[in-house]
Amino acid sequence: MDRAGSHDHGDFHPDRTLQRDDLLDDPIAQFLVWLDDAESAGLALAQAVALATADARGRPSARNVMLRGVYDGGFVFYTNLGSRKARDLAENPHAAMVFLWKELSRQVSVTGRVEPASAEESDHYFADRPRDAQLGAWASKQSTVLSDRAELETRFVEADERYRGMDVPRPPFWAGFRLIPDAVEFWQGRAFRLHDRFAYTRDDSRPAGWRIERLAP
């Protein structure tokens, strides 16, 4: 039995719909409205997002990360530059994101090119992180093989001792990225899988720079 598909009445919020007149002309502005709705509803980890990348041969990988800002026309996240996602982006600077707010029966999908955040942005964000998180960035050679957990914990202690009584600097191997969207989809769950789904596609011939179309769900 297809358990996910056996209860069509249970995957929507009965009080929510999405019409063309509800949408702002800019998808990032519209996203911020929905993000605010999710945060105002008290949803845990409302800024969590599935991030998909692919290497030069098109082999995909995906993981959940935290959105750390939406500004300068894009969605910002941070990572170790030795991580698989960073290596993928060095070979293929395109990615996709999916935000899921299940309690609101809402989903937002974003695709576009990815560019590095500036060193100043990365420095500023790193300086605002809790000290233990800063030390953790130094301790973890992300995506490399560990002999055991003790190796990771030893590196953390070493970093703590190295910067004791000092501000922890941003590691040169840790930085931010910004996904600049060329397409954004908003999905609102409705009964009987007759969901509301709208796609924004970048179109410089339009006054707002975006074409907005309703899609079949």
Active-site positions read 193
Angle between helices 131-139 and 149-162 (to 10 degrees): 120
DSSP strand pairing (48-54 vs 94-101): antiparallel
The number of CA neighbours under 13 Å toward the Cβ of 201 is 7
Residue type (1 letter), 64: N
What is the C-alpha to C-alpha distance for residues 140 and 142, in angstroms, rounded to an integer? 5
> CA-to-CA distance for 206 and 211, rounded, in angstroms?
7
Please give the radius of gyration of the chain, using alpha carbons only, rounded to the nearest integer: 20
Q: Which tokens in the block code for residue 177?
A: 């990225």
Distances in whole angstroms, Cα of residue 44 to Cα of each of 34, 136, 147: 14, 23, 33
46 alpha-carbon distance from chain centroid: 11
Cα distances (Å, whole numbers) of residue 9 to 6, 135, 190, 194: 9, 47, 8, 11
Measured CA to CA, the distance from residue 131 to residue 194 in angstroms comes to: 48
Q: Which amino acid is at 162?
A: R
